[in-house]
Structures are given as structure tokens and as C-alpha cells.
């Protein structure tokens, strides 16, 4: 068994992922009526996730 860590590979380009995040947050704001602080937290979490990729 190989104990070396394998770097994660994101199958979605960063620009496209950012567009998906923007669209999701727009949906959350418009359709769900989420508060600005919630949207800010979601954006922060999703940006952290995308930097992991």
C-alpha cells in the first residue's frame, strides 16, 4: 500500500465553479430569502471548499 498523500483534483475549472457558487447564492437570496449574513457565511464556506479543490 502506498502511504503518499494524493492531491485532490477538482474536475470543474475555478472560473466555472465560481459561476456555480454565484448562481447558487443568487437562488438562495431570491428564492429562499436568506439573510445577508447567511449568504456571506455560505460564500465563505464554498470559497474554502473550492480552495481545497
For residue 52, pLDDT over 90 is answered with: no
What b/e sequence results for 31-51 when a residue is b if at least 16 CB atoms lie within 10 Å of its CB, and e otherwise? eeeeeeeebeebeeebeeeee
Q: What pLDDT score does 13 carry?
A: 82
Q: Where are the domains of the chain?
A: 14-52
The stretches of 5-35 forming alpha helices (DSSP H) are 14-30
Give the model's confidence band at 7: pLDDT under 50 very low, under 70 low, under 90 confident, else very high. low
Give the model's confidence band at 1: pLDDT under 50 very low, under 70 low, under 90 confident, else very high. low
Amino acid at each position: 500500500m502506498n502511504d503518499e498523500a494524493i492531491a485532490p483534483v477538482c474536475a470543474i475549472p475555478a472560473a466555472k465553479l465560481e459561476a456555480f457558487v454565484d448562481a447558487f447564492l443568487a437562488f438562495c437570496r431570491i428564492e429562499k430569502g436568506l439573510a445577508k449574513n447567511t449568504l456571506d457565511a455560505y460564500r465563505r464556506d464554498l470559497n474554502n471548499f473550492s480552495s481545497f479543490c
